[in-house]
Structure 1
């Protein structure tokens, strides 16, 4: 005879947390960072991979996984709740707020997927509208993902301190990595602008005097070395973010599945 005191099964809820953590801490952060800072990335002096720019391939692959994971997580939690929306009185303010922010994130993910499928041609006069809506929607969802996860942390009593510590580290890290990338990108653009000015001057000089051919070669070498330095630095930062995200996602998932 079955007992009425059997503890509820939260397997679907744990699975929901798992795919959402992977989607927004690992995949979304990788996709967002590559879209903003990875456009100059080259591997073995190659800018393209399988016919597309490397940054775009990584951006698209990462965010496709993030969207798929988000939709999967949404259906998992619907299954856990048996299709019922969170009740603010019964489940509390934290879970109700989590459900609202989660719905906004799912909506943003669907909008991003729709826009990606039907985006206009890069040469279209309306392309700037797509670019701004795409960036705004993506950044809104990514930023909201942090408080959305934090809200769940406050209702998980087991290993509460561990959850808070991990999410605090992630919140601090994502601010730091964006600041570091902004500094690197600013210096890269400054260096590129200076090199372009020197190249323009070099071309003018060569038109009047062929003796400057050796200096032009030196300028080209300086350009290659300068871009190579920033290229390596960016790759290191991308790998660092990926490794740091993994190092937080794994213990976070372990704690999720250890919940009673």
Structure 2
């Protein structure tokens, strides 16, 4: 064994002494990693994921004259929102594994791991663009896996309330339900506006002007702003409560 190999082995042994799927860290608050995990997941899924889903589904015919880095505005907004969703989810997942003393055999751990796996793969699914029919399949896979990941993540927040180590009170059920309700109501509003847009387009005889936003785009923007403000307020309230717990 060479000198470098011996040094690497000693370093690995030192790391193994401190790591038991959890690091023996001297932290001022023993629950700080759990609180960071919860904070990151709440911001990622209740705020960024909801907004990223909305702009991708309902805003492709909005901001049509705005281009950023050679691409459409909605696509940039979607990527920014989902990048932070991905980054915070990966960070939160790593933090909880640092804190955990081995695998926790409960529904929260199982659903969380599945949601993390789907989230981690989302950029790959989104970047897949094979020619022909497989491209449509890739888009459907990206859409379905994203929605499954979102609802699994939100369900997992409800499950976290029942965990002793989370130290979350039952009032968190109401906050999580409120964020989910905002997401659902916003989607209902977007679908109503989409229906009204299609109905108005069908009544017009002239061809659609591709250089103009779809009808009711202003109302879509207002709905997005209301969704953003409501989710931001709920997210901030939940994060404050997490750190007070």
Indicate the TM-score class for this superposition, using the shorter chain for normalisation: 0.7 to 0.9
CA drift at 1:127: 1.1
Match of 1:25 among 46, 59, 62: 46
- Please name the residue that 2:70 is paired with: 51
SS of match in other structure, 1:199: coil
Map 1:184-199 → 2, pairs under 5 A: 184-195=193-204, 198-199=205-206
CA drift at 1:179: 1.0
1:252 aligns with 2:238: yes
CA drift at 1:27: 0.6
Larger Rg belongs to: 1
- Please name the residue that 1:231 is paired with: 217
- Please name the residue that 1:110 is paired with: 120
Match of 1:86 among 104, 109, 123: 104
- Please name the residue that 2:33 is paired with: 12
- Please name the residue that 1:183 is paired with: 192
- Please name the residue that 2:8 is paired with: none
Match of 1:173 among 164, 182, 187: 182
- Please name the residue that 1:99 is paired with: 109
1:129 aligns with 2:133: no
- Please name the residue that 2:159 is paired with: 151
- Please name the residue that 1:39 is paired with: 60
Q: How far apart, in 2, do the equivalents of 1:127 and 1:194 lie?
A: 33
State the TM-score, normalized to the length of structure 2.
0.81
Tell me if the contact between 1:40 and 1:47 (Cα under 8 Å) persists in the aligned partners. Answer: no
SS of match in other structure, 1:166: helix
Q: Deviation string for 1:42-89 (max 9, x for gaps)?
A: 1xx72423321111111111111101111111000001104x1104xx
- Please name the residue that 1:4 is paired with: none
> Number of residues paired by the alignment?
217
Q: Deviation string for 1:171-208 (max 9, x for gaps)?
A: 2222211111111111112222332xx116xxxxxxxx
Q: Structure 2 vs 1, CA of residues 113 and 173 (structure 1 numbering), >3 Å: closer, same or farther?
A: same
- Please name the residue that 2:16 is paired with: none
TM-align CA RMSD:
2.5
1:68 aligns with 2:87: yes
State the TM-score, normalized to the length of structure 1.
0.76
